[in-house]
């Protein structure tokens, strides 16, 4: 069943029958009217139906499933200190650590006036604090698949009483190879449960997964599948591959961007671009899978505080980053997977705000551009960008070191008379004519040489008459002679 009807603009959160404690938390978050995906999903989830929710990223899907989950679990909330009274009843799975942390922050905000407990577990950090929190008992658990299985193996997480399961950004989980982990987790859950699947894109693999694990789901699409938000202005700038760094600096300066996420396709490329932007006066840092979780979280916190202008990221940051009023994102590389483009540009223009999605396009990326236009079912505005920002090109650190070494060797081999003068008033020291004459030996040196030639030769020592073999011990014993018969 598919529900694509238009939601009336007069719908309010009070009409969903939510508890007063939840409405109080919603008001404190500054929410006034629900977004289309929230208005459509919340009543269906409250009815206990399985849901496939499709909406553009940044339209409030997290509140669309977390608010009704909290409402349904409220009758089971209690203040007991016993962990047995706080089993895991709702499980929310996310593909990335950043998204898990973001969802956990939202759930905690929505449930802060209730007795429900929530926790988040993901990899890259110490398990011990997570294990201690799970042992105390939590009703709502947000997790990445790999770390959740670690806790299941350590027997710190029991999934036997889960009543509701949420697969957030499920298509991304399949792209990252989480299907075996998902199957293991789903096998640990009770068969009688409510399953919610939310994503910005629905691929054929996701539909196959839904047909396997969801029971008669209701599909809710508030916009055309795989479409992009209308409040995001998308522009593609055609530049040469070698001018992309200069183009990023020029766009940041011309548009006075104080906060921007720049997406790269590789971890090495992200680190290199961040270093280049720093050298050209842009406060930047990189976030990707090779950085520790603490480094990634510190970088995100600094970016949210406005201490960093450009956050250079791989697609690990394409999901789950919720930066309030982020003005723009820049695609330094067009993504190989067209669906990642939808999620990348969804970091801006969130919650109804406007934003700019700027992409750099080189001639060798024509296939990626065609795939993106095919996915979103409309052509993109392609413009030529004349890069005139003076940018120092640092291809790699080794090249820079070679340049410094070459300059140093040239300075070492340059003579004193080749050095440039340091001013017109500089006077050159006079040179003595003695050093310009050819060498002539002195009379004393000539007489000494003649005496050496007239001196009789020293008598040579007589050569040893003893053979070499004797010196080596070869003649120590007389050789025996044998008589022939």
Residues of the chain with pLDDT under 50: 1-8, 391, 393-431, 446, 481-485
Task: Sketch the domain layout of the chain as residue ranges.
Answer: 2-221, 232-384
| Contact criterion met (CB below 8 Å) for 182 and 145 | yes
Secondary structure (3-state) at 271: helix
pLDDT at 30: 85
CA distance 18 to 11: 13
Q: Radius of gyration over alpha carbons of the chain, in Å? A: 37
**Is 0.85 surpassed by the pTM of this model?**
no
| Contact criterion met (CB below 8 Å) for 182 and 146 | no
pLDDT at 436: 53
CA distance 124 to 472: 71
- In the sheet where 232-238 sits, what is the strand order? 284-287, 310-313, 260-263, 328-331, 355-361, 232-238, 381-384
What is the DSSP annotation of 219-232? EEESS-TT---TTE
CATH of domain 2-221: 3.40.50.300
Provide the percentage of residues in the chain whose pLDDT is more than 90: 47
Please list the alpha-helical segments (H only) found in 346-467.
366-376, 397-413, 443-454
232-384 is classed CATH 3.40.50.300: yes
According to DSSP, residue 92 is labeled E
Give the residues across from 263 on adjacent strands.
Answer: 313, 331
Residue 260 dihedral angles phi and psi, to the nearest 5°: -155, 140
pLDDT at 395: 41
The CA angle 148-154-157, to the nearest 5 degrees, is 50
HSE-up (13 A, CA, CB side) for residue 282: 33
| Contact criterion met (CB below 8 Å) for 287 and 296 | yes
Domains 2-221 and 232-384 fall in the same CATH topology = yes
CA distance 102 to 319: 10
Q: Which helix (H) or strand (E) holds 385?
A: none
Handedness of CA 169, 174, 180, 181 (dihedral sign): negative
pLDDT at 317: 58
- Residue 7: name the closest of 70, 62, 59 by CA: 59
């Amino acid at each position: 069943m598919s529900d694509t009807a238009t939601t009336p603009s007069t719908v309010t959160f009070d009409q969903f029958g939510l508890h007063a404690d939840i409405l109080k938390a919603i008001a404190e978050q500054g929410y006034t009217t629900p977004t289309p995906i929230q208005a459509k999903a919340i009543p269906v989830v409250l009815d206990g139906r399985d849901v496939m929710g499709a909406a553009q990223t940044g339209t409030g899907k997290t509140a669309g499933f977390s608010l009704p989950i909290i409402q349904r679990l409220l009758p089971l909330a209690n203040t007991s200190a016993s962990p047995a009274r706080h089993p895991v009843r709702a499980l929310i799975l996310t593909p990335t650590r950043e998204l898990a942390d973001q969802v956990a922050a939202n759930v905690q905000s929505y449930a802060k006036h209730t007795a429900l407990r929530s926790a988040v577990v993901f990899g890259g950090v110490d398990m011990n604090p997570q294990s201690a929190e799970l042992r105390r008992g939590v009703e709502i658990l947000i997790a990445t698949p790999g770390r959740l299985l670690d806790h299941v193996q350590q027997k710190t997480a029991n999934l036997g009483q889960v009543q509701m399961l949420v697969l957030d950004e499920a298509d991304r989980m399949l792209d990252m190879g989480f299907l075996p982990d998902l199957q293991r987790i789903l096998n640990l859950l009770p068969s009688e449960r409510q399953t919610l699947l939310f994503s910005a894109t629905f691929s054929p693999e996701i539909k196959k997964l839904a047909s396997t694990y969801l029971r008669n789901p209701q599909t809710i699409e508030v916009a055309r599948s795989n479409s992009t938000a209308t409040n995001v202005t998308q522009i593609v700038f055609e530049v040469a591959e070698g001018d992309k760094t200069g183009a990023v600096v020029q766009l940041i300066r011309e548009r006075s961007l104080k906060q921007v996420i720049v997406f790269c396709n590789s971890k090495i490329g992200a680190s290199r671009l961040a270093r280049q932007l720093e050298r050209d006066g842009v406060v930047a840092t990189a976030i990707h899978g090779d950085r520790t979780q603490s480094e990634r979280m510190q970088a995100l916190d600094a970016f949210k505080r406005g201490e960093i202008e450009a956050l250079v990221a791989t697609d690990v940051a394409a999901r789950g980053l919720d930066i309030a009023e982020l003005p723009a994102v820049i695609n330094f590389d067009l993504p190989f997977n067209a669906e990642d483009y939808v999620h990348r540009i969804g970091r801006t223009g969130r919650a109804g705000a406007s934003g700019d999605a700027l992409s750099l396009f080189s001639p060798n990326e024509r296939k990626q551009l065609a795939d993106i236009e095919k996915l979103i079912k409309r052509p993109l505005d392609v413009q030529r960008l004349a890069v005139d920002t003076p940018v120092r090109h640092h291809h790699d650190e080794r090249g820079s070191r070679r340049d410094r070494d070459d300059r140093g060797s040239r300075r070492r081999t340059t003579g004193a008379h080749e050095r440039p003068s340091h001013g017109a008033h500089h006077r050159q020291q006079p040179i003595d004519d003695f050093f310009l004459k050819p060498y002539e030996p002195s009379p004393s040196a000539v007489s000494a040489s003649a005496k050496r030639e007239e001196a009789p030769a020293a008598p040579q020592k007589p050569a040893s008459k003893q053979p070499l073999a004797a010196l080596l011990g070869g003649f120590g014993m007389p050789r025996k002679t044998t008589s022939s018969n």
